[in-house]
Amino acid sequence: MKAISIKSIGKPDVLNINDIPKPKIMENDEVLVKLKAAGVNPIDTKLRSGAYPIDNFPAVLGCDGAGIVEEIGSKVDKVKKGDSVFFFHGGIGGVQGNYAQYKVLNQDFIAHKPKSISFIEAAAVPLVSITAWEALFMHANIKKDDKLFINAGAGGVGHIAIQLAKYRQAIVHTSVSSDKKKKVVKNFGADHIFNYKTEDIKSRILKLTNNEGVDVALDNVGNHEIEDIISITKNYGHMVTLLQPNNKIDWSLARFKNLSLSFEVMLTPQLYNLKNKQIEQTRILEKITNLIDADNLKIHISEVMQLEDAAIAHKMIEDGHTTGKIVLNIE
């Protein structure tokens, strides 16, 4: 089969299309999926560049996939041949990813694709939606009328988090890098939107919250942004970050404000082979499917590229400021 594989870490040009063996069902509860599309995520670029380790080479990246069930094991009862499915699986921990024509995985890690969207859209959903769900509903446990701040609101996780927060009837403040992106996130329901390049976000948010700050903050950026977020989070508030804080961050204000801090890494179940947690994430995908088909959640696609253009997709993500998701079309 055709796949984008890498033989060593490096710049985007190490991503090349190659012929590799088509995977086979080895266990009676496994499923062979003919992939129609694969999502591209920042984690893919970090693995390729060597920021995170790759267990073995050659490696096929890509955590998000969507396609059609082609074969099933003898004990598979969750899906049947011809079903349209999507999932988060592979691309890390030595498991084949989805930048390929075929993928084999356990039936427990598969969800039926939302009926109302395409394979391209479905492939963009898993990582960002599970991340946003875990951050807001499991870590922060947001509720009606909670005041939230979400930075990078036009990004992959950001635009999903805005919609999930509004579904819970929270009040959403978000930041973006341009006035054009302000219009994008407005369409996803954000209540208060700030261009961080031209506006004083801290003063605006404190004014909107009677100088208290927000109840919950979701950090999609990291580094110096964490200190800024601490300053706008209320006493006894909750901050969730997706990034590794650097050692230059001053945590003293967070301590004196008695903030709770959570790290959200939705990759953990696959990194540590925690099957029950992987199944829980599949259950989240099933709930996301219901929200999408009820028109309560939309996925924003910024670019659709062909499989052989994976290197271009990686470069775009590394250049920064992408809006929504990039997806590889596999035909």
CATH number at residue 73: 3.90.180.10
Select from 217, 235, 263 the last residue of a domain.
263
Q: Is residue 47 part of a domain?
A: yes
Whether residue 51 is found in the same domain as residue 122:
yes
Give the pLDDT of the chain (331 residues) as one tens digit per residue: 999 999 999 999 999 999 999 999 999 999 999 999 999 999 999 999 999 999 899 999 999 999 999 999 999 999 999 999 999 999 998 999 999 999 999 999 999 999 999 999 999 999 999 999 999 999 999 999 999 999 999 999 999 999 999 999 999 999 999 999 999 999 999 999 999 999 999 999 999 999 999 999 999 999 888 999 999 999 999 999 999 898 899 999 999 999 999 999 999 999 999 999 999 999 999 999 999 999 999 999 999 999 999 999 999 999 987 899 999 999 8
Whether residue 220 is found in the same domain as residue 312:
no
Whether residue 53 is found in the same domain as residue 95:
yes
Q: Which pLDDT does position 93 carry in this prediction?
A: 87
Whether residue 157 is found in the same domain as residue 193:
yes
Tell me the CATH number at 235.
3.40.50.720
Q: Is residue 203 part of a domain?
A: yes
Give the CB-side neighbour count of residue 181, counting CA atoms within 13 A. Answer: 23
Torsion 288-289-290-296 (CA) sign: positive
309 CB contacts (<8 Å, ≥6 apart)?
Answer: 328
In the chain, count H helices and then E strands: 11, 16
Whether residue 159 is found in the same domain as residue 191:
yes
Whether residue 25 is found in the same domain as residue 122:
yes
Q: Is residue 41 part of a domain?
A: yes
Whether residue 252 is found in the same domain as residue 279:
no
Select from 228, 263, 298 the last residue of a domain.
263
Give the CB-side neighbour count of residue 54, counting CA atoms within 13 A. Answer: 25
Whether residue 279 is found in the same domain as residue 251:
no
Q: Is residue 84 part of a domain?
A: yes
Whether the model clears a pTM of 0.85, i.e. scores above it, the answer is yes
Q: Which pLDDT does position 223 carry in this prediction?
A: 85
Q: How many residues does the chain have?
A: 331
In DSSP terms, 19 is beta-bridged to 2
Whether residue 218 is found in the same domain as residue 192:
yes
Max alpha carbon distance in the chain (Å)? 61
Q: Which pLDDT does position 224 carry in this prediction?
A: 82
Q: Is residue 133 part of a domain?
A: no
Q: Is residue 63 part of a domain?
A: yes
Whether residue 116 is found in the same domain as residue 28:
yes
Q: Which pLDDT does position 307 carry in this prediction?
A: 98
Q: 2-6 and 59-60 as β-strands: parallel, antiparallel, unpaired?
A: antiparallel
Select from 263, 282, 315 the last residue of a domain.
263
Split into its structural domains, the chain has a count of: 2
Q: Is residue 135 part of a domain?
A: no
Distance (Å, rounded) from C-alpha 73 to C-alpha 131? 30
Q: Which pLDDT does position 113 carry in this prediction?
A: 99
Q: Which pLDDT does position 320 carry in this prediction?
A: 83
Query: How crowded is residue 267: how many other Cβ atoms within 10 Å of its Cβ?
Result: 18
Q: Could you list the residue range(s) of the whole structural domain that residue 236 is in?
A: 140-263
Whether residue 157 is found in the same domain as residue 214:
yes
Q: Which pLDDT does position 71 carry in this prediction?
A: 99
Q: Is residue 14 part of a domain?
A: yes
Whether residue 201 is found in the same domain as residue 242:
yes
